[in-house]
Structure formats: structure tokens, C-alpha cells
């Protein structure tokens, strides 16, 4: 369907009136994207009867220079350069009525180092465009020239590990539960028990900010008492993500400064604070030697449905540019959405220096990160010690595994819950490094470790049958197939 | 108390056979293993003393185990750890670190609280062992 260009040229192009987008220069099938172009891949679902090429050209137009009618003022500009160019439209496999549209944008369309500007351009207007039933931004290729205008993760995986003095295994965390209602004193108790029991981190939940039951200073003071006490009890560096999310930047800076003053190694923010606030906090974190954790609060409102919104892989790319150190990226086996292949794609985006195109993981472009720091993915939500072999297999080593319920809900108490997770993890890493087939021998490895660890034995017993097997709503459109090479 | 730094401190102390398997894993990945020791296990004491240099270009864990045993003969009353360094671009740091020797008795740390403005507290972790000079801790010479 990628037929020739229909662009009208010369004087006729600028005759007053309405012209189809595909004739205005937004459909250029012969265009070869430059290495400095930003490329976006959209899933376009045109209204019935709308030509997919015209719909895709409209997306290019409405996300760059076009308006609904021809304007003569285009002629005062180098308009051809600024027009986004749709250069390829493919039907989506097994999804009638949906099309993948590849659109190239010149680098000059964007401000350096601004996710707000990038997103205002690419997703600012077009998602409500009437000729489309639905639209989804699936992936983006960010040229090195653009990547280099961003700070990137304030700390990065390697330096985080150096600061925490933890190498060779996933980090362990837990979100304090219940999310709401604990006083500062009670909250600190959970933090102390979990850290002393063997976790590396504890975490505020996304909606723990400063509420009547616990104002933020109470939480920070008691949490740091807990962190320091657990550090002295174990001889290890520990941390708790102090959520500094607040109603204004001024409030967030005040909370972050206080966290630093108290000696916290890490603070946290929620995705809902917005891209500019996130970038500001990332710069603050870099200046203040602070690890920056991001909770992706709210993302499922636009990432989950396959036909409309923005894929989480795009959000992950934006957040790596924006400069957070941790990002929740799915567990595969836990309670929240995430099919294994798609999740693998997200993890690669967080952690690799170069992502090759892997359609089977939903990764549509080669992406060179040009030595930008790596982001630590966080797996949180409905996971427990009995899944350790699967978690290690799916998620690898550079990840924070967060067992909230799986720590605090332990029948012998929070410390025991933390110890069970830590022992399970260390036993699995030991076995993996010894060359054992840990994925298949996982249950045996855990059972063996439980012989000398009662808390693990008890955890395996309580949660042995807990799984969350539901159909994923978001999966890759391509599956690898074998073919005979000639 | 038991200092739980390193990758395997929550498991029973590793046997030499287990240590050797971990070292072999590191060498297989092309990482250089370094033996480090200290009698100051403060969580932020980053730079333990090096027993020689990281063993670059080594293929067989047996060489590392020989060095470990030599180190134990001299510093068997201290903490000894293995650290494996990965020189690949984008990492260039430690990949695996685990304790392979510890003092018989680990007195641990006390937490000092220095009350400052308002409710703020400045915390300092102090190792009981370091009240004595280096070498004289943990019953050493």
C-alpha cells in the first residue's frame, strides 16, 4: 500500500481551501529518514471509510505543521523541512482496520532536553482527531543527537550499586502496607523490621504524601531512624524511598532538601507530577547525590489499551531521558498487567546501551542510548519468595524486586518475611552462578534453602498456590517464526 | 551479630567448593577477581585492603583459591571478600562481591544519635571493633 507520493507541488499547493493531508506533503513514501530524525510509530485506527494513508498523513500533519486548511504563511518558512513525513504504512498483523504508520520528524522541531516539548509535539493534539477512531503511540526512535541533550538518570544502575555496596543480585524492597492510615511512628516500625530482616529498600506508596494521619516530616524522621538503626544492625547500607510528591515544586524541593539533610540515599516521585517536574527533580537529584525513584502512578490510564494511548515503552524511553533512576516496569508473574515479551522490551529499554529492533518484544527501532545512564527497573505487585526462580529468569539481575505483601504479610512477622525473600534470592543466585538449571530446579533450590531457614519454609507454605494468570491486554503484534534459509 | 554485606551473607558460610564455583563463574565471564580484607566492616568503608592486584587473565579458580588460602593464613581473623571486576564499557565496576571469611566474633555496630535542631537527629554508625587500632581488632596482632 506504500504507493507513490501524492504531494502537490508549486503554486497549486498553496491555493486557499482544504486539501487532503496526503497531498500536502505529509505522505512521502520515498522519504529516507535522516539519522538525526526522530521517528514515531503510531497504531492508527481510521474511522470507517477513511483511507489509511490519508489518516496517517493527517497524524503526521497534526503532530507537526498542519492545520485543517491551507495557509499562505507556510510560504514564509522552510515548510518542507518542518513537515513531519509519514513514509510507511503497514496493516497491523491480525488486526483488521489498524495500521502502523511510521512518521519522521526533523530534529529542529524540538527543543533540546525537554520531554514537555517532545510530548506536546508528538501527542499534543492528534489523539482527539475526529477522522481517527483510535490512535496509539507505539514506539519512538530517538536520534543520538537528541539523546545527548538530556541529562539522563541522575545516578544510574552502576553508581547506585556502588553507593549501596550491593553487587551481583537483584535488590530487594517492599512497599509499606497498609498504604494509608499508619502514623509516622508505626510506619517507621515497618521500615525498621523489613530492613533489619534483610531488605535493601523500603518504599512509600504512590499516594503517601502528607495526609492527616501522617504528615510528611513525621514520616521522614521516623523512617530515617529506622534506616539508620537497621544499618547498624546489619552492617549494610539501607534506604527508604521517601516520596516527595506534593502539590507544588516548592513543596517538593522542601521535602527533598529535608530528606537529604536527614541522610537519605533515595527519594521518590510519582509520574503524575508531570514531565517537567520529573526533569527538575532529576536535576536536583544529580546535584544532591540522590537516587531518584519513579512510581509510574497513573500510566495504565493511557498505556494499557492496545489500540489507543501511549505504549509504556515510550514512557520508559522518555523517563530514561528525563533522568529517573528507578522505574516500575512490570513483574510478568505478579498482579499487574504485563506479558513476558512486552515486559522484556521495557526492561531492555531501561538497561541496555543499545536496543536492537526486536519486534517480538514490541521494540520497533534500533535505539542507541549513547552511554546515557541505565535505569533500574522495579518489579512490584503480587510477587513472593516462591517465584524467585521465575523472577530471576524473566527479569535478570539488575532489578529491584519489591515484595510488599510478600514481606509484611509473612505469618512470622515482617523481619521473617524479609529474611525469607533474601535467603530465597541469595540461594537462587548461588545456584545460577554454579551453572544449575535454576528455572526448572527452582522449587528444589528453594526447598533446600528452606531447610536452614524457617521463615522461608513458612513463606513457601503460605503462598505456594498464589499465581495471577490472566490474559494480557497488551502484547507484541509480531511473533518470531522459523523459516528455511535458502 | 552477623555483617550481611555481600551477595551471600544470608546463607550458611560458603564452603571452599562453593567459593570456587562462584569464582569460576566470574572468571568465565571474563571478570578479574580481587581478594580484599579488613577489620573495619563499617557499611561505608568502601576500600578494603587489597591482597595483591585483581587477578587479570586467570582462567582457573584454583589460582584464586590458592591466594585466598594464603590471605587467610595472614588475615584469617578479619573479614575477607571476593570482588569481581568487569571492565566492559558501560559497567566498569564490581559485578559480584561476597564475604568468604569473617572473624569468630562479630561485635557489630552501635548507632550514635546526636540530637540537633528541633527533632532532627544526626546518626553515626560506629563499629565496636575499631575502638582498637587496626590489626589489634578481633583478637588479632
Give the model confidence (pLDDT) of A173-183 as tens digits.
999 999 899 99
Q: Which residues contact A120 (CB under 8 A, 6 or more apart)?
A: none
Q: How confident is the model at residue A485 (pLDDT cuts 50, 70, 90)?
A: very low
Q: Judging by beta carbons within 10 Å of its beta carbon (0-12, 13-18, 19+), is residue A9 exposed, middle or buried?
A: exposed
pLDDT category at B140 given cuts 50, 70, 90 is low
The pLDDT score that the predictor gives to residue B135 is: 83
- B44 close to A (CB below 8 A): yes
Rounded to the nearest 10 degrees, what angle do helices A216-234 and A184-197 cross at?
20
Question: What does the pLDDT look like over A346-395, one tens digit per residue?
Answer: 999 999 999 999 999 999 999 999 999 999 999 988 889 999 999 999 99
List A22, A196, A203, A295, catalytic entry: A295
pLDDT digits (tens, 9 = 90+) for A38-89: 999 999 999 999 999 999 999 999 999 988 888 899 889 999 999 999 999 9
User: Do residues A242 and A268 make contact, with C-beta atoms less than 8 angstroms apart?
Assistant: yes
A177: annotated active-site residue:
yes
Residue B113, all three cell numbers: 544519635
Which of A64-73, A243-252, B32-41 has the least mean pLDDT? A64-73
Are A401 and A171 in contact by the 8 Å Cβ rule? The answer is: yes
Structure confidence by residue, pLDDT tens digits, A432-441:
999 999 999 9
- Residue A75, number of CB atoms within 10 A of its CB: 9
Of A261, A262, A255, A257, whose CA–CA distance to A227 is shortest?
Answer: A262
Q: Which among A167, A419, A452 has the least Cβ separation from residue B12?
A: A452
Omega within 30 of 0 (cis) for the link into A137: no
Q: From B116, which residue of chain A is nearest by alpha-carbon distance?
A: A262
Mean pLDDT, residues A244-261 = 98
Cβ proximity of A379 and A366 under 8 Å: no
| Residue A336 reports pLDDT greater than 70 | no
Strand, coil or helix: what is A232?
helix
CB contact under 8 A, B111 and A237: no
Encode pLDDT of A337-356 as tens digits: 678 899 999 999 999 999 99
Instruction: Determine whether A410 is an active site residue.
Output: no
Indicate the average pLDDT of chain B: 94
C-alpha cell at A55: 489518516
For residue A221, give the nearest of A262, A175, A180 by alpha carbon.
A262
Q: Is the pLDDT of residue A483 over 60?
A: no
* Alpha-carbon distance values, A184 to A122, A160, A204, A222 (Å): 43, 27, 12, 6
Asked if A234 and B3 come within 8 Å (Cβ–Cβ), the reply is: yes
Average predicted confidence (pLDDT) for chain A: 94
Amino acid at each position: 500500500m506504500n504507493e507513490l507520493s501524492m504531494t502537490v507541488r508549486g503554486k497549486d499547493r498553496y491555493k486557499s481551501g482544504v486539501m487532503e493531508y496526503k497531498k500536502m506533503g505529509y505522505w512521502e513514501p520515498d522519504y529516507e529518514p535522516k539519522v538525526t530524525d526522530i521517528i514515531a510509530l503510531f497504531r492508527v485506527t481510521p474511522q470507517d471509510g477513511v483511507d489509511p494513508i490519508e489518516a496517517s498523513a493527517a497524524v503526521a500533519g497534526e503532530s507537526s505543521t498542519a492545520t485543517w486548511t491551507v495557509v499562505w504563511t507556510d510560504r514564509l518558512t522552510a515548510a518542507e523541512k518542518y513537515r513531519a513525513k509519514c513514509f510507511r504504512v503497514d496493516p497491523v498483523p491480525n488486526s483488521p482496520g489498524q495500521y502502523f504508520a511510521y512518521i519522521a520528524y526533523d530534529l529542529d522541531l524540538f527543543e533540546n532536553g525537554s520531554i514537555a516539548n517532545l510530548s506536546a509535539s508528538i501527542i499534543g493534539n492528534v489523539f482527539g482527531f475526529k477522522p481517527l477512531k483510535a490512535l496509539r503511540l507505539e514506539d519512538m526512535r530517538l536520534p543520538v543527537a537528541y539523546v545527548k541533550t538530556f541529562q539522563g538518570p541522575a545516578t544510574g544502575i552502576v553508581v547506585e550499586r556502588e553507593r549501596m555496596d550491593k553487587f551481583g543480585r537483584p535488590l530487594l524492597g517492599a512497599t509499606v502496607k497498609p498504604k494509608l492510615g499508619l502514623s509516622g511512628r508505626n510506619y517507621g516500625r515497618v521500615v525498621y523490621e523489613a530492613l533489619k530482616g534483610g531488605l535493601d529498600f523500603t518504599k512509600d506508596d504512590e499516594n503517601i504524601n502528607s495526609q492527616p494521619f501522617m504528615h510528611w516530616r513525621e514520616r521522614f524522621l521516623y523512617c530515617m531512624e529506622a534506616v539508620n538503626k537497621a544499618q547498624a544492625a546489619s552492617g549494610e547500607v539501607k534506604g527508604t524511598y521517601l516520596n516527595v510528591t506534593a502539590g507544588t515544586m516548592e513543596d517538593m524541593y522542601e521535602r527533598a532538601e529535608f530528606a537529604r539533610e536527614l541522610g537519605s540515599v533515595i527519594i521518590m516521585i510519582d509520574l503524575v507530577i508531570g514531565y517537567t517536574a520529573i526533569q527538575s527533580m532529576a536535576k536536583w537529584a544529580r546535584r544532591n547525590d540522590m537516587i531518584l525513584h519513579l512510581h509510574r502512578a497513573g500510566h495504565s490510564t493511557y498505556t494499557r489499551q492496545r489500540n489507543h494511548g501511549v505504549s509504556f515503552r515510550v514512557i520508559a524511553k522518555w523517563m530514561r531521558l528525563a533522568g529517573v533512576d528507578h522505574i516500575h516496569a512490570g513483574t510478568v508473574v505478579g498482579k499487574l498487567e504485563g506479558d513476558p515479551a512486552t515486559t522484556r522490551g521495557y526492561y531492555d529499554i531501561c538497561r541496555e546501551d543499545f536496543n536492537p529492533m526486536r519486534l517480538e518484544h514490541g521494540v520497533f527501532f534500533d535505539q542507541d542510548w549513547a552511554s546515557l545512564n541505565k535505569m533500574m527497573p522495579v518489579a512490584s505487585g503480587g510477587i513472593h519468595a516462591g517465584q524467585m526462580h521465575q523472577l530471576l529468569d524473566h527479569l535478570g539481575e539488575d532489578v529491584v524486586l519489591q515484595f510488599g505483601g510478600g514481606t509484611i504479610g509473612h505469618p512470622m512477622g515482617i523481619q521473617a518475611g524479609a529474611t525469607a525473600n533474601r535467603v530465597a534470592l541469595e540461594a537462587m543466585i548461588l545456584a545460577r552462578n554454579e551453572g544449575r538449571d535454576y528455572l526448572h530446579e527452582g522449587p528444589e533450590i528453594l526447598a533446600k534453602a528452606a531447610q536452614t531457614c524457617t521463615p522461608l519454609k513458612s513463606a513457601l507454605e503460605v503462598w505456594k498456590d498464589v499465581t495471577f494468570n490472566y490474559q494480557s491486554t497488551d502484547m507484541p503484534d509480531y511473533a518470531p517464526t522459523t523459516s528455511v534459509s535458502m | 551479630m552477623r555483617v550481611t554485606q555481600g551477595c551471600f551473607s544470608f546463607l550458611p558460610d560458603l564452603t571452599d567448593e562453593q567459593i570456587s564455583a562462584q569464582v569460576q563463574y566470574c572468571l568465565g565471564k571474563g571478570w578479574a577477581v580481587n581478594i580484599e580484607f579488613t577489620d573495619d566492616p563499617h557499611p561505608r568503608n568502601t576500600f578494603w585492603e587489597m591482597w595483591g592486584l585483581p587477578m587479570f587473565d586467570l582462567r582457573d579458580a584454583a589460582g584464586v583459591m590458592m591466594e585466598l588460602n594464603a590471605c587467610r593464613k595472614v588475615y584469617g581473623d578479619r573479614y575477607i571478600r571476593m570482588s569481581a571486576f568487569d571492565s566492559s564499557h558501560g559497567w566498569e565496576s564490581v559485578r559480584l562481591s561476597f564475604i568468604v571469611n569473617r572473624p569468630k566474633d562479630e561485635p557489630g555496630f552501635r548507632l550514635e544519635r546526636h540530637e540537633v535542631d528541633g527533632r532532627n537527629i544526626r546518626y553515626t554508625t560506629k563499629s565496636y571493633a575499631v575502638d582498637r587500632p587496626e590489626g589489634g581488632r578481633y583478637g588479632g596482632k
